[in-house]
């Protein structure tokens, strides 16, 4: 019986088995991208703390009102599941949060309420069985759709502003349309609220002693998806930079006499 020698496979050259620099770079980029996907955190609403009149969609980034007519105010409240953006300003802090109108309902004349709270989502969620209501919110600063400030659930804080109600001029969320953004900033050591629409400042509200926003804790975005707001998305954002005063315009320079062409008659 003839015998056959076993086949021998030639190994590939060593240079082919070693990873090329381009392959190393590609593998490194893929690994970094994977880590970023695992660590990146998109802003979203907290699902457990949402009111009974809304549902969360798009990975909890959008709050959609589901019962437009029978749900009273306070049953469509949502809160961010994490603290809003913060920026250190020397010895102080600025905070900022922003939402986008994804769908509007033109049969309503009012707008959504939006504000900031020191209450984390788990504390707000404890009120969920009875339906959320602004009166249940201590340590909360909310602007109604017309710009009037609510503090701890009240539009007229007793004993704090006896002569008038605090209101942010220019803040009118009833005029927001689909695609518009609405932002709220705390600045000046917690003594000022600044409103934004589509990235442009629309007004400022100074907070008197006793109602300033403390800067020693995280703040969360809170909103009531009512009025024209049908669907509201919470956005990833950065704190706007401090306002820069424009330099005074310089005096106009008088026009110089136009020189004649060299060969002019």
Per residue, the 3-state secondary structure of 143-204, as one string, reads ECCCCEEEECCECCCCCCCCCCCCECCCCCHHHCCCCCEEEEEEECCCCEEEEEECCEEEEE
Instruction: Give residue 168's pLDDT.
Output: 92
Please say whether the beta carbons of 148 and 154 come within 8 A.
no
Give the three-state DSSP class for 21: helix
pTM above 0.85, yes or no: no
Please list the pLDDT of the chain residue by residue as tens digits (265 residues).
Answer: 555 454 444 444 444 454 555 555 655 555 554 443 434 468 999 998 888 888 999 999 999 998 655 555 567 889 999 999 999 988 889 999 999 999 988 888 889 999 999 999 988 877 655 556 666 678 899 999 999 888 876 665 545 554 556 889 999 999 999 999 999 999 999 999 999 999 999 999 998 887 899 988 899 999 999 889 999 999 999 999 876 544 555 555 555 554 555 555 5
Instruction: Give residue 137's pLDDT.
Output: 78
Q: How far is CA 41 from CA 37, 83, 143, in A?
A: 8, 12, 27
Instruction: Give residue 60's pLDDT.
Output: 96
Instruction: Give residue 43's pLDDT.
Output: 92
Instruction: Give residue 77's pLDDT.
Output: 87
118 vs 31: CA distance, rounded Å:
37
Strand order in the sheet with 220-224: 77-79, 220-224, 113-117, 140-143, 149-151
What sign results for the dihedral spanned by CA atoms 48, 126, 64, 96? negative
Instruction: Give residue 75's pLDDT.
Output: 77
Place of tokens 């917690």: 190
Measured torsion, CA atoms of residues 192, 101, 220, 70, in degrees rounded to the nearest 10: 110
Q: Which residues contact 78 (CB under 8 A, 6 or more apart)?
A: 45, 46, 49, 50, 51, 54, 56, 63, 222, 223, 225, 232
Instruction: Give residue 219's pLDDT.
Output: 97
84 vs 75: CA distance, rounded Å:
22
Domains and their CATH numbers in the chain: 41-235 (2.60.120.920)
């Amino acid at each position: 019986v003839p015998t056959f020698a076993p086949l021998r496979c030639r190994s590939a050259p060593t240079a082919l088995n070693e990873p090329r620099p381009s392959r190393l770079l590609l593998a490194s980029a893929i690994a970094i991208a994977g880590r970023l996907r695992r660590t990146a955190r998109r802003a979203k609403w907290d699902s457990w703390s949402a009111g009974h009149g809304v549902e969360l969609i798009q990975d909890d980034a959008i709050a959609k009102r589901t019962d437009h007519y029978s749900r009273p105010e306070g049953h469509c409240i949502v809160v961010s599941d994490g603290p809003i953006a913060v920026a250190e300003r020397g010895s102080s802090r600025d905070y900022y949060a922003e939402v986008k109108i994804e769908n509007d309902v033109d049969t309503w004349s009012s707008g959504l309420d939006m504000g900031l709270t020191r209450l984390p989502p788990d504390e707000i969620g404890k009120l969920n069985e009875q339906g959320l209501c602004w009166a249940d919110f201590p340590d909360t600063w909310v602007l109604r759709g017309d710009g009037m400030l609510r503090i701890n659930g009240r539009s007229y804080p007793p004993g704090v502003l006896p002569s008038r109600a605090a209101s942010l001029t220019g803040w009118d969320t009833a005029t927001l349309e689909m695609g518009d953004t609405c932002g709220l900033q705390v600045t000046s050591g917690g003594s000022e609220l600044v409103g934004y629409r589509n990235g442009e400042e629309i007004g400022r509200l100074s907070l008197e002693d006793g109602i300033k926003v403390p800067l020693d804790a995280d703040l969360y975005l809170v909103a009531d998806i009512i009025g024209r707001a049908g669907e509201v998305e919470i956005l990833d954002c950065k704190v706007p930079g401090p306002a820069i005063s424009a330099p005074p315009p310089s005096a106009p320079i008088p026009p110089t006499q136009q020189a004649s062409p060299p060969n002019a008659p």
